[in-house]
């Protein structure tokens, strides 16, 4: 028996070690650093400072803006990505010529890196030499160039537009797969009962793919919340910190300030937020299931 345990343990060892070294060690180290003054510029004076990093974060207007932006960023991106993704999936469900090619083109954005997307959109949004302004001017929709990335009114909207463009493909892929699994008998039965198009969508399709919708939105919300790459590439939080979300602010603390203590504190706050979110979401969806089935 004991031999058995030893055998099992030794079998698990490589995987365990990998996870320990590359996931849990940095994770716990991060928690420790959140309570330390840990600046890359001055590694000789690393010491514990209690809750200083947290109080500093909450009294920093930049952090509060980022907190607010994070909510805005996740909510708008998620809703729009989902709606566009669902529409796209419904359209792609029908057979038409060249569907494969079209599908490939539509899903392409998902294969790009967020940072690259940020760089591409940065040039497109440029108010003097960018293609977006140029097109809008030519079409006659605007008469003056808009500083999409330089005007704080527009900057947050612009980064969300880029993010929506990026994430629509994810929902389209996942929802299309789910749509294709809806048995056609259900539609036939619904038609017999005299259901029209919207009725079928509302009463057959959506309930059937609801588990996929729940799982994908839950996942995607966490990803959007955690992903700083588009913002980092596009505005780097500017102008004047007005487009930072928590994850990009954390990155900013590391890259420009070399302040691992402050960054870890933000990271820890993010973990708490995500934990609360997950608990909330799981309870909410549980009751949903009870109601449905």
x/- binding map, residues 108-137, to another protein, per CB under 8 A? ------------------xxxx--------
Q: Can residue 256 be called a binding residue for another protein (CB under 8 A)?
A: yes
Q: Can residue 150 be called a binding residue for another protein (CB under 8 A)?
A: yes
* Residue of 30, 207, 211, 238 that binds another protein (CB under 8 A): 238
Q: Is 185 helix (H, G, I), strand (E, B) or coil?
A: helix
Beta bridge partners of 259: 39
Q: How far apart are CA 78 and CA 81, in angstroms?
A: 5
Q: Can residue 21 be called a binding residue for another protein (CB under 8 A)?
A: yes
Q: How far apart are CA 63 and CA 47, in angstroms?
A: 23
Question: Least Å distance between CB 231 and another protein?
Answer: 12
Compare residues 109 and 127 and give the one whose CB is closer to another protein: 127
Nearest Cα to 166, choosing from 217, 120, 110?
Answer: 110
Total residues in contact with another protein, by rule CB under 8 A: 36
Residues 6 or more apart whose Cβ sits within 8 Å of residue 246? 66, 67, 70, 225, 266, 269, 270, 273
Question: Least Å distance between CB 274 and another protein?
Answer: 26
* Helices (H), ranges, 94-129: 99-107, 114-125
Q: Can residue 20 be called a binding residue for another protein (CB under 8 A)?
A: no
Which residues contact another protein by CB under 8 A? 7, 10-11, 13-14, 17-18, 21, 40-44, 62, 126-129, 144-145, 147, 149-152, 235-236, 238-241, 254-258
């Amino acid at each position: 028996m004991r031999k058995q345990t030893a055998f099992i343990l030794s079998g698990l060892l490589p995987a365990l070690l990998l996870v320990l070294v590359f996931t849990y060690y940095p994770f716990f180290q991060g928690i420790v650093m959140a309570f330390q003054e840990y600046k890359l510029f001055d590694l000789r004076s690393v010491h514990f400072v209690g809750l200083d990093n947290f109080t500093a974060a909450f009294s920093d207007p930049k952090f509060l803006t980022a907190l607010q932006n994070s909510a805005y960023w996740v909510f708008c991106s998620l809703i729009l990505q989902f709606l566009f993704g669902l529409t796209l999936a419904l359209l792609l469900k029908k057979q038409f010529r060249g569907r494969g090619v079209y599908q490939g083109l539509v899903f392409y954005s998902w294969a790009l890196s967020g940072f690259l997307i940020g760089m591409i959109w940065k040039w497109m949004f440029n108010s003097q030499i960018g293609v977006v302004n140029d097109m809008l001017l030519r079409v006659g929709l605007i008469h003056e160039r808009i500083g999409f990335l330089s005007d704080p009114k527009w900057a947050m909207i612009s980064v969300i537009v880029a993010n929506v463009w990026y994430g629509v493909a994810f929902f389209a892929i996942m929802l299309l797969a789910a749509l294709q699994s809806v048995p056609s008998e259900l539609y036939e039965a619904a038609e017999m009962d005299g259901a029209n198009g919207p009725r079928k969508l509302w009463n057959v399709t959506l309930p059937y793919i609801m588990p996929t919708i729940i799982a994908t939105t839950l996942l995607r919300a966490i990803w959007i919340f955690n992903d700083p790459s588009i913002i980092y590439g596009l505005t780097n939080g500017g102008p004047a910190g007005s487009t930072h979300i928590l994850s990009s602010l954390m990155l900013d603390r590391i890259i420009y300030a070399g302040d691992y203590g402050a960054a870890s504190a933000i990271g820890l706050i993010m973990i708490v937020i995500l934990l609360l979110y997950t608990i909330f979401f799981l309870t909410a969806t549980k009751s949903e299931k009870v109601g449905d089935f």
